[in-house]
Amino acid sequence: MPCSASRLTALSLSLLLAAGAACAQTEQLKMSLEMRLDPAHIDRAGGGRERLGLVTTSLLFEPAYDWWVGPAVVGAATGQRGGFFVLGAQVARRWHSTDNWVAQLGLLMGGGGGGGAPVGGGLMLMPSASLSYDWGGVQTGLSVSSVNMPSGRISSRQIGLVLSWDGRFRYFDVGEVGHKLSTAEHTGLGFDRLMLDSAQLHVRARQSVPASTVRLVGVRAERRLGPNMYWGVETAAATHGGADGYMEILGTGGWETSASAIGLSDLYLGARVALGLGGGGAVETGGGTLGKAAGVLRWELGRDAFVGFEAGAVRSGSGAYNARYAQWQVGLQLDHPGAPQDAPVVGLAWSGSVQHVRKAARKDGRQLDLDTVGIKLKRLVGSNVYVTGQAHSAVAGQAGAYSVGLAGAGVQTDLSDSGWRLSAELLAGAAGGGGVANQGGAVAQGMAYLGLSLDPGSEWQLGAGRIRGQHAGLNSRVLDISWTRSFGVGQR
């Protein structure tokens, strides 16, 4: 019986497969990773102007032909505002000509701030237009964009450079979760392993500034490029050391090899480098560009888990940030390239979130409500147990630059016949910035959700819980409204 795929719809982030396990195949959805460098102007009080270089990175999915939507991050790369980050979502429409030219109109909306920039509540609107040439999966060109933070003092127009490339996002229908289906290729975002890490940094002394110790917690995802090479992305935030509000996002690449020659086949030795953006929390990263270099040890604990250690140095491209660090890791193997193709399908879900935080304590003694927008990623590790990573940034409540990064685990019930589901999760991570009182940065958050599925793979969730800092300060109730899209990915 021939297989047929259902038609894409404008609001869907996944394709529905035709019924029948014997003919089930991996469906494909285009994925674009777009990077943009914009020289932006910031208007400041007193009529002064300041030049600030921004990098916009977006991960866009194509739910309908030439309509693209997905998460985006804007960060400072040059100037004196290291730590300026905005987290949000972008919607774009593309038009293709017969001679490989691509025009695009887009709108990015998000929340954030940092680096002492006058962002007000944190809401950012960034419409843009670009014209690029398609070289065959890779596009280069120019953009014109406008950055507006309505409650702050930032308003600018700028010309930027565009570099983007298209990939394939492969997945299964969410109804196939728990089954075994054949796939010879990566599914989902294509990462092979995911790790949680904790780092301790010794920030070197400078003139009139003593040495200090800062602790970070973070998440890293990596994909192999062969038996020894890999690339990935990582993010981390401060939890101790008086640097609450510090955050970094970097791309990374590395090399590793097994120590089987000395009889330790489960031990891997290697090195890696990373480049990206970071700052905030009074850490002097200048414009915000960071670089890392480290040696790495990794010990495999069976087929699907590992622990690791690395030691190295991190340095800002400008500014005075210069530190040595040691990092511990615990990780999960998400995929095993080269393993048999008969793969179990596991659940993966993206969520867009709006949260209301009640009476968040401020450093000036006040308690004010604030609102955030956020992104959540969830992966099932059992029939009803999942791990999750989340990021949220302020858009209102006089807390621009307040951001939260969390990771943890949860449990959920199966969907009832009427489409209702209950779930609960416990998370830990870091939060700070925007004048919110959270000494050190470490936080824990517990949430309970009531979900309603209106169609297969799509769910609305209403949640309530509490976020609490490790020390005195932040201790607030949280209300959450999320829209979640689920699909299946293979795990060989």
Q: Give 335-366 as a DSSP string.
A: --TTS-SEEEEEEEEEEEEEEEEEEEEBTTS-
The span from the CA of 310 to the CA of 121, in Å, is 38
Is the pLDDT confidence value at 286 over 50?
yes
- Higher pLDDT pick, 10 / 46: 46
pLDDT at 262: 86
Q: Do 285 and 385 have their domain in common?
A: no
Name the band, by pLDDT with cuts 50, 70 and 90, for residue 89.
very high
Does residue 358 lie in a domain region?
Answer: yes
The tens digit of pLDDT for each residue in 397-436 reads 999 889 999 999 999 999 888 999 999 999 999 998 899 9
Q: Do 313 and 355 have their domain in common?
A: no
Q: Do 350 and 466 have their domain in common?
A: yes
Number of domains in the chain: 3
Does residue 375 lie in a domain region?
Answer: yes
- Higher pLDDT pick, 436 / 204: 436
Q: Do 280 and 166 have their domain in common?
A: no
Asked if residue 398 lies in contact with residue 426, where contact means CB atoms within 8 angstroms, the answer is no
pLDDT at 209: 64
pLDDT at 47: 47
Does residue 2 lie in a domain region?
Answer: no
Q: Across 241-250, 258-267, 288-297, which has the greatest mean pLDDT?
A: 288-297
User: With the CA atoms of 416, 417, 419 and 425 taken in that order, what torsion angle do they form, in degrees rounded to the nearest 10?
Assistant: 10
The tens digit of pLDDT for each residue in 154-197 reads 888 888 888 888 777 777 778 778 777 666 666 767 788 889 89
The span from the CA of 12 to the CA of 10, in Å, is 6
Q: Do 289 and 149 have their domain in common?
A: no
The tens digit of pLDDT for each residue in 324-356 reads 999 999 998 877 776 656 667 888 899 999 999
The amino acid at 336: H
pLDDT at 185: 67
pLDDT at 179: 78
For residue 218, what are the domain limits?
191-333
Q: Across 38-42, 135-139, 181-185, 216-220, which has the greatest mean pLDDT?
A: 216-220
Does residue 16 lie in a domain region?
Answer: no
Query: Residue 83: phi, psi to the nearest 5?
Result: 105, -5
pLDDT at 173: 78
CA-closest candidate to residue 219, choices 59, 388, 466: 388
Q: Do 395 and 355 have their domain in common?
A: yes
What is the chain's mean pLDDT, rounded?
84
Q: Which two tokens stand for residue 389?
A: 């990573």
Q: Which of 333, 354, 371 is the last residue of a domain?
A: 333
Q: Do 351 and 484 have their domain in common?
A: yes
Q: Do 351 and 482 have their domain in common?
A: yes
Which residue do the tokens 């511990």 mark? 328
Name the band, by pLDDT with cuts 50, 70 and 90, for residue 31.
low
Determine the average pLDDT of the residues in 96-117: 91
Q: Which of 333, 354, 389 is the last residue of a domain?
A: 333
Q: Which of 302, 333, 364 is the last residue of a domain?
A: 333
Query: Residue 388: phi, psi to the nearest 5?
Result: -145, 150
CA-closest candidate to residue 492, choices 366, 356, 348, 341: 341
Q: Do 157 and 289 have their domain in common?
A: no
Determine the average pLDDT of the residues in 122-147: 91
In CATH, what number is assigned to the domain containing residue 269? 2.40.160.20
Q: Do 91 and 74 have their domain in common?
A: yes
Q: Do 329 and 362 have their domain in common?
A: no
Q: Do 152 and 53 have their domain in common?
A: yes
Does residue 8 lie in a domain region?
Answer: no
Instruction: Give the number of other Cβ atoms within 10 Å of residue 2's Cβ.
Output: 6
Does residue 465 lie in a domain region?
Answer: yes
pLDDT at 457: 86
pLDDT at 251: 93
